Amino acid sequence: MHVAEKGEGPLILFLHGFPDLWYSWRHQITALAALGYRALAPDLRGYGGTDAPDSVSDYTCFHVVGDLIVLLDAVAPEDKVFVVGHDWGAIIAWDLCLFRPDRVKALFNLSVPFIPYNPRFKPVETWKAFFGNDHYIVRFQEPGVMEAEFAEIGVGRAVLDLLSYRVPDPLLLPKGNLFGHPPDAPVDLPPWMSQQDADYYATQFEKTGITGALNYYRNFDRNWELSAPWWKSEIKVPVKFVMGDLDLVYTMPGMKDYIHKGGFKRDVPLLEEALVIEGVTHWIHLEIPDQINQLMFHFFSKFH
């Protein structure tokens, strides 16, 4: 497991999303280390410098949370730690809190709220019913298919297109027209991504491929099945949740009602706040890093 680390003090474990790396947390690592924390940001299994098992079945929620427990046992064996997640990292952070609340002091989560197990809604078929066969989660399911299509335009290029997606609409990836523009057109990088940042991401994914990252999506239904024992369980750690109102997750069917009308608070009773920031997209910690760092510091400082 490749881990980026900086600072001394109470430990904060940062969990990145898709298609991301430890590098996503560069602004938070520097800022929180300067404020007296020990920031720890791994590449999750299948990403960057961390091992990538071959089998799709090696990327379940249990495998990934297991990696984190082994990491915590190595760096902070006796301690509860602060946890920060974004996107897939947020999903994994919820699982960590659900499975091992004894290891988490408090959670600051971004973009993806806790989605509890529901026996009536199998994830992939639910997304397919709402959004059709071109929805990115549906398209990612079949091993090898998206790898081949991304390879046609270059996997580094595909990752940059994904990281540059910043509208609140569902991400659709129709075959032969993946991102809605010619493959030789320059990527419209967001203002928070420099060319140096883009080169780092592209180089890393060209080196490792993207199969490990896609395998998380290929376990959505399996994770749903594995989560059945936690039906109607609550998240029992203190939480602050933040997302942008232009996040594609926020505009998913039923999400606004769940967040604002009591469902989220019911399932996460120690939720201090669910803050939705206007004019901000899915990449919130990159788009407004100073504001996120201040919110994080203010929240974690309550637990010293």
Q: Which tens digits make up the pLDDT trace of 248-300?
A: 999 999 999 999 999 999 999 999 999 999 999 999 999 999 999 999 999 99
Which residues does 188 contact at the CB level (< 8 Å), separation at least 6? Answer: 164
Query: Does the pLDDT of residue 304 top 90, yes or no?
Result: no
The sign of the CA dihedral 196, 208, 166, 4 is negative
Which overall architecture, per CATH, does domain 3-301 show? 3-Layer(aba) Sandwich (3.40)
Instruction: Cite the DSSP H helix spans in 211-272.
Output: 211-217, 220-226, 255-260, 263-267
Would you say 264 and 240 are in contact if contact means Cβ atoms under 8 Å apart?
no
Identify the pLDDT of residue 180: 86
Q: Annotated catalytic, 87?
A: yes
Backbone phi, psi, residue 37, to 5°: -115, 160
From 43, 87, 247, 267, active-site residue: 87
* Owner of token pair 């899915």: 282
pLDDT of residue 181: 85
Residue of 86, 135, 282, 285 marked catalytic: 282
Q: Which residues are registered as beta bridge partners of 216?
A: none
Residues 66-112: tens digit of each pLDDT: 999 999 999 998 889 999 999 999 999 999 999 999 999 999 999 99
Residue 125 CA from chain centroid, whole number:
21
Is residue 169 annotated as a catalytic residue, yes or no? Answer: no
Which phi and psi (to 5°) does residue 13 adopt? -100, 120
Which residue is listed with tokens 């427990």?
69
State the Rg of the chain over Cα: 18
Q: What is each CA distance from 93 to 125, 146, 149, 253, in whole angstroms?
A: 24, 26, 30, 23
Active site residue 117: no
CA 194 to chain centroid, in Å, comes to: 21
The structure's pTM equals 0.98
Domain boundaries, the chain: 3-301
**pLDDT at residue 183 in the model:** 80
- pLDDT 10s digits, 175-221: 999 998 888 888 999 999 999 999 999 999 999 999 999 999 999 99
Q: Which residue is it, tokens 């199969």?
A: 211
Q: Point out the catalytic residue in the list 47, 136, 217, 258.
A: 217
The answer for residues whose C-beta is within 8 angstroms of residue 279's C-beta and 6 or more apart is 244, 245, 246
Cα–Cα dist 304/142, whole Å: 46
